[in-house]
């Protein structure tokens, strides 16, 4: 797996430097322009405006996690018009400097000496209108895997269909120290799946929305058996100086052997989804203790799942007959999430650092229900739960010269109300806080 992944990344880098005259139907003036810069001014490269030159961009990349320690690396990125042979490739060497939070019995020298990740996409418009092939590979944070897909848009550009195959494997040997959530990953087992997706974007009155549908099934050498259909509808509506964000989520699942990392979670995104973020792909930036589940709420949240942030890290036990079942994860579920932004009333949308750091303040409310029984039985649901509070989100738009990242959102949410508090807490109204990554909507 590791050898083949290295070969794929090498192929992506080489193909990105090759002229694609016939495929892209470019003029004879097409050129290759390569330059190295240190990311001080990322806005200098605007590939969507450069339709003549294939542009390569590179620079250093520094990162950290609790097992690899300080990571020193490089990034190479390229593309033409943000459509043809667009790729990003990262390679890091690990020093082990600054390790912390390792579980008992870990081999402190057993970390991966090198890691890499890469993604590639190119338009197939000449062969099939509005279609794109996509590929991603990784050997990063103790997780080996890849993803390949084909997407097809309609003429209007508001509907996109996709077909995907994904494979993941986390080895038992030294896989645990990397994990942020060390309770929910089936190590030493392949998690392979096929998915069909539909994305629809629309507008209405004073707002915009998007509808996403996913049909996913484990197959092709997977050590698991699970299947689900998931629908998410997100709307953003302007209300004078306020903005209302709403999310409706529904999932129906079935299977006899679900992968723990791919299940639906009451409070946050699944471990599989968190593995895709550089901040949460491994412990270190956030301590693993914050992501543990227990008998009271914890302090870490990642946007996703049913997104009931007031129950972050809570096992949500319920008694059914002589059994005590945990409602923090399941295979079926539904939720409604609301956020009402009021930062424009405070004038924070005009503060001088908004080019680099965006600030949003909001009231929020979440309500949802999740299955509590075996995944291959008729659905039985836990009691409905809800929360409400106030929060603030900081979106870092530019990261300066050290590392090149997409914008990342950090949140500080205070779920002051929960409808079903933990038994060890005095009541539904109480000061609680979570530090979150990403917004689910």
Residues 194-209 pLDDT 10s: 999 999 999 999 999 9
Average pLDDT, the chain: 87
pLDDT digits (tens, 9 = 90+) for 266-276: 999 999 999 99
Q: What is the DSSP letter of 348?
A: G
pLDDT of residue 50: 62
Tokens matching residue 372: 């509590």
What integer is the mean pLDDT of 124-138? 95
What integer is the mean pLDDT of 380-395? 95
Classify 376 as helix, strand or coil: coil
Residues 6+ apart with CB under 8 A from 324: 317, 318
pTM of the model: 0.87
pLDDT band at 286 (very low <50, low <70, confident <90, very high): very high
pLDDT of residue 179: 96
Residue 82 has pLDDT above 70, yes or no: yes
Element (H, E) at 146: strand 143-153
Q: Report the share of the chain in percent with pLDDT over 70.
A: 86
What integer is the mean pLDDT of 394-412? 75
pLDDT band at 188 (very low <50, low <70, confident <90, very high): very high
pLDDT band at 140 (very low <50, low <70, confident <90, very high): very high
pLDDT band at 20 (very low <50, low <70, confident <90, very high): very low
Residue 26 has pLDDT above 80, yes or no: no
CB 242 within 8 A of CB 253: no
pLDDT of residue 406: 72
Residue 297 has pLDDT above 90, yes or no: yes
Q: Which of 183, 415, 136 is nearest to 289 (CA)?
A: 183
What integer is the mean pLDDT of 36-45? 40
pLDDT band at 15 (very low <50, low <70, confident <90, very high): very low
Residues 6+ apart with CB under 8 A from 43: none
What integer is the mean pLDDT of 44-60? 70
What integer is the mean pLDDT of 176-184? 95
pLDDT of residue 374: 65
Q: Report the C-alpha gap between 338 and 235 in whole angstroms.
A: 10
pLDDT digits (tens, 9 = 90+) for 345-384: 988 777 777 777 888 999 999 999 999 976 666 778 999 9
pLDDT of residue 96: 96
Residue 9 has pLDDT above 80, yes or no: no
Strand segments (E) across 375-428: 385-396, 408-418
């Amino acid at each position: 797996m590791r050898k083949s992944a290295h070969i794929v990344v090498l192929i992506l880098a080489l193909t990105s430097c090759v002229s694609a005259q016939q495929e892209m139907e470019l003029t004879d003036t097409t050129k290759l322009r390569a330059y190295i810069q240190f990311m001080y001014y990322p806005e200098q490269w605007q590939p969507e405006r450069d339709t003549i030159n294939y542009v390569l961009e590179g620079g250093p990349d520094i990162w950290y996690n609790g097992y690899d320690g300080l990571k020193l690396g490089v990034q190479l990125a390229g593309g033409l018009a943000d459509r043809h042979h667009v790729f990003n490739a990262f390679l890091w060497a690990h020093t082990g400097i600054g390790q912390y939070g390792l579980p008992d019995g870990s081999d402190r020298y057993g970390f991966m000496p090198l890691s890499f990740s890469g993604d590639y996409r190119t338009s197939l418009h000449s062969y099939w209108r509005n279609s794109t092939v996509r590929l991603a590979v990784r050997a990063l944070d103790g997780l080996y895997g890849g993803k390949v897909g084909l997407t097809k848009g309609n003429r209007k550009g508001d509907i996109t269909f996709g077909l995907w195959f994904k494979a993941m494997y986390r080895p038992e040997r030294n896989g645990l120290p990397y994990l942020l959530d060390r309770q929910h990953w089936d190590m030493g087992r392949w998690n392979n799946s096929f998915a069909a997706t539909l994305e629809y974007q629309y507008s209405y009155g004073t707002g915009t929305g998007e509808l996403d549908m996913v049909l996913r099934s484990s197959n092709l050498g997977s050590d698991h058996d699970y299947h689900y259909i998931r629908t998410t509808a997100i709307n953003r509506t302007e209300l004078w100086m306020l903005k209302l964000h709403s999310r409706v989520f529904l999932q129906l699942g079935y299977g006899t052997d679900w992968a723990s990392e791919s299940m639906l979670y009451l409070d946050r995104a699944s471990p599989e989804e968190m593995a895709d973020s550089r901040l949460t792909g491994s412990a270190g930036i956030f301590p693993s203790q914050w992501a543990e589940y227990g008998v009271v709420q914890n302090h870490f949240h990642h946007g996703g799942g049913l997104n009931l942030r007031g129950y972050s890290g809570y096992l949500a036990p319920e008694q059914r007959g002589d059994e005590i079942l945990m409602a923090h994860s399941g295979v079926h579920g539904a939720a409604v999430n609301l956020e009402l932004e009021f930062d424009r009333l405070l004038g924070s949308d005009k503060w001088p650092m908004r080019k680099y750091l965006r600030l949003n303040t909001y009231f929020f409310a979440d309500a949802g229900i999740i299955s509590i029984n075996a995944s291959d039985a008729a659905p039985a649901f836990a009691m409905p739960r809800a929360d409400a509070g106030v929060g603030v989100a900081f979106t870092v738009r530019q990261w300066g010269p050290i590392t090149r990242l997409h914008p990342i959102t950090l949140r500080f949410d205070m779920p002051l109300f929960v409808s079903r508090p933990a038994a060890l807490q005095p009541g539904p109204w109480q000061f609680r806080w979570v530090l979150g990554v990403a917004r689910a909507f």
